[in-house]
Structure formats: C-alpha cells, structure tokens
C-alpha cells in the first residue's frame, strides 16, 4: 500500500511508521512526506530515509483549494493510495477529502471524543483525568471528529507532564502501525 505521511512537526510518528515498514511489521511504502512547514524536523527525518518530501507553505497559495489541489497532484504522481496524518496541524479541506474518500486517517493524543484540538495532553492533565490515551480515526471535515478505528488507554503520570507525554508518544508509535496494518490488509 502506497501512503503519504503528512506532518508539521517533529515526525516521530512518521519515523515509527517507516521503521515498522523496514522491519516487515507494516506492509506499506511511504511514497511521499508532505509538510506545510518547510523547516520542520520531519523533513530531516524523511531525508535520512531517502523519502521524497513535498514542502508547501499554504501562504504561497491563493486559497486552500489551490493548496490542496497542488498536494493532490503530487500524491497522484506518486501513486499514493492512503493519506496518513501524523501531527499535521491543519484541517483537511473538502478537495482533499473528496480525492481520498475513507482513505485519510489521523492519530490524536487523547481518548476521543475527549480533548480534541491542540494540546490534548495539556487539556487532559488540566482537567485532572487519571487515564488518557491515543486514538486513530478516519478524517472528516471536523477537528478530530471522524469515525474511530483504534484506541489505547495510557495512565496519566500525575503532576509529570513530560513523563505522561513520553508514555503517550510511545503508545502512539505502536498503535498507529498496528491500526494501519489492519486497514491495509
């Protein structure tokens, strides 16, 4: 299965997916990494795996439709079948949703529908929940709202944000690859 990974930041989920592919745990190929942040660390990670990167700043485009149309052109050139969002900090618009119906997935660091949007881990800790987690879901027009594919619970380390984040990211890296493997079967 040929996939594109979309990321705006560090790209640790991208790296976990790529390593799972290389270890034979995930039957896929990352044909393209797409970022809206040309300086993001995910670009360095992609280059270290020799994976092509499409780095486009949305502000260079007149509209979201134009921006997504340019992305779709690149996805089609690379034969991309599934779009995998991994820390892509932008809502997917109708053009991209229509180009990949039921073929765009996202990972979010909470047990949705709790704590959608930015800083889900901070939201959960501020709320005082004792168990949070990770959700893999299909993407629709909303913010972290599409049908849920997989979830895993992660205990909050009370008073220790860094430790909680570390535990959540570790769970993300394994849940995403197993969920994708199920989807691609």
Q: Which is nearer to ligand GRF, 9 or 69 (CB)?
A: 9
| Residue among 85, 174, 168 nearest 129 (CA) | 168
Query: What H or E segment, with its residue span, contains residue 75?
Result: helix 64-77
128 to 121, 148, 158, 160, 161: CA distances (angstroms): 11, 24, 8, 12, 12
Q: Tell me which residue has its CB nearest to ligand GRF.
A: 87
Given the complex with ligand GRF, which of 11 and 146 has the nearer CB atom?
Answer: 11
106 annotated as a binding-site residue: yes
93 annotated as belonging to a binding site for a ligand: no
Catalytic-residue membership of 108: yes
108, 127, 169, 173: the active-site residue: 108
User: Is 31 or 134 the residue whose CB approaches ligand GRF more closely?
Assistant: 134
| 64 marked ligand binding residue | yes
CB of 62 to ligand GRF, least distance (A): 27
Residues 54 and 77: beta-carbon distance below 8 Å: no
159 is in an annotated binding site: no
Q: Which residues bind ligand GRF (CB under 6 A)?
A: 7, 9-13, 86-87, 107-109, 172
CB of 109 to ligand GRF, least distance (A): 4
Peptide bond into 113 cis (omega under 30): yes
Specify binding-site residues for (6R)-10-formyltetrahydrofolate.
64, 89-92, 106
- Residues forming the active site: 108
User: Could you tell me which residues are annotated as the binding site?
Assistant: 11-13, 64, 89-92, 106
């Amino acid at each position: 299965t040929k996939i594109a990974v979309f990321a705006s930041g560090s790209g640790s989920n991208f790296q976990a997916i790529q390593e799972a592919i290389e270890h034979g745990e995930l039957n896929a190929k990352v044909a393209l990494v797409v970022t809206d942040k040309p300086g993001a660390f995910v670009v360095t990670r992609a280059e270290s795996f020799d994976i092509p990167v499409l780095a486009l700043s949305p502000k260079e485009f007149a509209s979201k439709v134009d921006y997504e149309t340019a992305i779709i052109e690149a996805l089609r050139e690379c034969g991309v079948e599934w779009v995998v969002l991994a820390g892509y900090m932008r809502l997917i618009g109708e053009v991209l949703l229509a180009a990949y119906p039921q073929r765009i997935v996202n990972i979010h660091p909470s047990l949705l529908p709790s704590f959608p949007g930015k800083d889900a881990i901070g939201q959960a800790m501020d709320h005082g929940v004792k168990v949070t987690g990770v959700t893999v879901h299909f993407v629709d027009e909303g913010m972290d709202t599409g049908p849920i594919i997989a979830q895993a619970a992660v205990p909050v380390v009370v008073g220790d944000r860094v430790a909680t984040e570390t535990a959540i990211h570790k769970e993300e890296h394994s849940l995403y690859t197993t969920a994708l493997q199920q989807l691609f079967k």
